[in-house]
Structure 1
Amino acid sequence: MAMMVKEVAELTGVSVRTLHHYDEIGLLVPDEVTEAGYRLYSDRNLEMLQQILFFRALEFPLKQIKEIVSRPDFDRLEALELHHKLLLEKRSRLDRMIATLEQTKRHMKGEIRMTNEEKFQGFDFSKNPYEKEAREKWGDQAVDGMKAKLVDMGEAGQEKLGAEMNAIYAKLAELRGGAPDSDEAQEAIGEWYSFLNRLGSYTPEAFRGLGQLYVDDTRFTNNIDKFGEGLALFMRDAMAVYADRLAGR
């Protein structure tokens, strides 16, 4: 069933003004316009809008997005699979950068000693395993723009996020000797869930998956366990319980 521009805006969170702009530049043209001039968006239009928003989440400029989706060989499913890989990599990098920031603060306070190598964990953007594939599919300009945005983080914002994250990690570290499904553990892990959802969008399943990543990826495990040995494992279990409860299991 076709939707009017205001309905699309309410559904997606994209402003009416932005939708009008996408139409004007030929990026997202509604399949139908009534005699009265009202834009009507089809399911196909909504699918394309979702695709555009995934590109925007990766900081692709509108001009580049239009060039990509207009290609005769553009494969939406293939693009979604690569979006997934790139967003996971972006999340992993941001988590490593935040962890490095926290360790640096503790180093400056004299609580720990960091090697020079540890001080720059998370800042190496030259080893993205999906970058070559992205460049081949979408071009150098788009990927270079995305990388530039990833490193453009203000110090004030980093410090505030780091302080909040440090407090949550410290609370969880104190609880790690207990049961991950206890009320105290679930309250603390709920704070972690809320914190993450201020940075991005985590479904219960995504939250569970992130917890598993804390154990499966030694980079996460090593950084998290600096706050207390076994913390990564405790967080994984607590996050799984929290995700199940959110999902009503």
Structure 2
Amino acid sequence: MKQHISVKKTITAYRDGQFQDAEDDIVSEVPLTIFVNKEEFATMVCSPQHYKEMVVGFLASEGVILFINEISSLEIDEDKGFAYVALNKKLTKNPSFYSKRVINSCCGKSRQFYFQNDAVISKTSMSTASLTAGQCIHLMKQMQQNSQVFKKTGGVHNAAICTPDHIIVDRADIGRHNALDKLYGYCLLQNIAIKDKILVFSGRLSSEVLTKASKIGVGLVLSKSAPTDLAIKLAEDLNITAVGFIRGSSFNVYSHNFRIKKNEKGEMSNEFMQY
């Protein structure tokens, strides 16, 4: 039975000093347990949409697969909440690899990762993509306009993979990592080259989000929210341009501003009105 990403519930609402019955849209939350080569691997709590993309993106971001053809079969049992993945190779699962916090050093710079597999899989961006200021504003507005589930429930994170001019795919989920994994999985399944694309995200730019962006392979991350200091350090070290607080006609560039185009006077382009 297909599950819906949101459900209607009767609630008691307090409005203008009065209690009243009302109907509200509530975001759905379900568990999905992933089995890899018949072994239980992980349980994810997620929104009930785009399971296949999420599983593929999750396995890639965890370093379980490097290429989509390493998966020989993938079956989703939505009713039971199970995903069955068969790989055409052995699964090497060392619990400490996924749970041990490390500090890894590269090229004389200190990269602080929470988990060992993050240090191994994260990639320094070689992206040559760039954006004008107006394109930054436009992509954020377009993602927010597309976010029907958030408009109804207010309970999901939104993310999108974009070119400088338009959104290729957007996804929503109760979990920020799930939303990013769904994008990654979509691109792998559709064989979409990612390094020249842009990641647009609705939530805070934490170190975990920057790490996930690095694993996906993008060089530009746009957010409507604030970054953390560790996220900025990682962005600087991983050659990722992090842009935050994209609201109205303003934003802040926190790292590698060379990817945000400037005009001949050295000022950032300002063509918001064309959008």
Normalised to the residue count of structure 2, the TM-score between the two structures is 0.28
Tell me which protein shows more helix as a share of its residues.
1
Give the structure with higher Rg (CA): 1
Higher relative contact order (CA 8 A, sep 6+): 2
Normalised to the residue count of structure 1, the TM-score between the two structures is 0.30
